[in-house]
Structure 1
Amino acid sequence: MADFGRLLTAMVTPFDDKGELSLERTTALVEHLIEHQTEGLVVAGTTGESPTLSKDEKLKLFEHVVKIVDGRIPVIAGTGSYNTAESVEFSRQAEALGVDGIMVVSPYYSKPNQEGLYQHFKTIAENVHVPVMIYNIPGRASVNISAETIIRLSEIDNITSVKEASGNLDQMASIIAGTSDDFILYSGDDGLTLPVLSIGGHGVVSVASHVIGKEMSHMIQSFTSGHHTESAKLHLKYLPIMRELFRAPSPVPVKTLLTEIGVNAGPVRLPMVELTEEEKASLTKIFNEL
Structure 2
Amino acid sequence: MTEPMFRGVLPALVTPFRDGEVDEDAFVRLVERQIAGGVHGLVPVGTTGESATLSHDEHRRVVELCVATAAGRVPVIAGAGSNSTREAIELVRHAKTVGADAALVVTPYYNRPSQEGLYAHYAAINDAVQMPVLIYNVPSRTAVDISNDTLARLAKLPNIVGIKDATGDLPRASTQRLMCGEDWVMLSGNDDTALGYMAHGGHGCISVTANVAPEQVSAFFNDAMAGQWKGALYGQDRLIRLHKALFSDASPSPAKFALAHLGLCAEEARLPIVPASEASRKEVLAAMRDAGVI
Same topology, TM > 0.5: yes
Residue 26 of structure 1 is matched in structure 2 by: 27
Separation of aligned partners in 2, 1:265 and 1:179: 42
Give how far 1:265 is off.
4.7
1:225 match: 226
Q: Which residue of 1 aligns with 2:15?
A: 13
Query: 2: distance between equivalents of 1:162 and 1:145?
Result: 10
- Counterparts of 1:25 and 1:35, CA distance in 2: 15
Q: Secondary structure at the match of 1:40?
A: coil
User: In structure 1, what is the equivalent of residue 104 of structure 2?
Assistant: 103
Letter in 2 for 1:50: S
Which blocks of at least 5 consecutive residues in structure 2 are unaligned? none
d(CA) in 1 for partners of 2:92 and 2:224?
35
TM-score (norm 1): 0.96
| Aligned counterparts of 1:169 and 1:20: Cα–Cα separation in 2 | 39
% same residue = 37
The answer on whether the counterparts of 1:259 and 1:266 sit within 8 Å (CA) in structure 2 is yes
Structure-to-structure mapping, 1:25-174, within 5 angstroms: 25-174=26-175
Q: CA deviation at 1:276?
A: 2.0
Aligned residues: 289
SS of the residue corresponding to residue 26 of structure 1 reads: helix
Look up the match of 2:5: 3
Secondary structure of residue in 1 paired with 2:243: helix
In structure 2, distance between residues paired with 1:24 and 1:223: 33
- Does the 8 Å CA contact 1:185/1:203 hold for their aligned counterparts? yes
Q: Deviations over 1:50-100 (max 9, x none)?
A: 010010111111111111111111111111111011211222122111111
Runs of 4+ in structure 1 deviating by more than 3 angstroms, as ranges, are none
1:235 matched to 2:233? The reply is: no
In the TM superposition, residue 198 of structure 1 has moved relative to its aligned partner by 0.4
CA contact (8 A) 2:7 2:40 kept: yes
Cα deviation 1:145-203 (Å, max 9, x = unaligned):
01111111111111111000011112222111112211111000001111011010101
Report if aligned partners of 2:7, 2:187 keep a CA contact under 8 Å in 1.
no
Gaps of at least 5 residues in structure 1 are none
Q: 1:2–1:131: 8 Å Cα contact kept in structure 2?
A: no
CA distance, structure 1, for counterparts of residue 14 and residue 266 of structure 2? 8
Q: Is the 8 A contact 2:11 2:43 kept in 1?
A: yes
1:187 aligns with 2:188: yes
Shift in Å at residue 2 of structure 1? 6.2
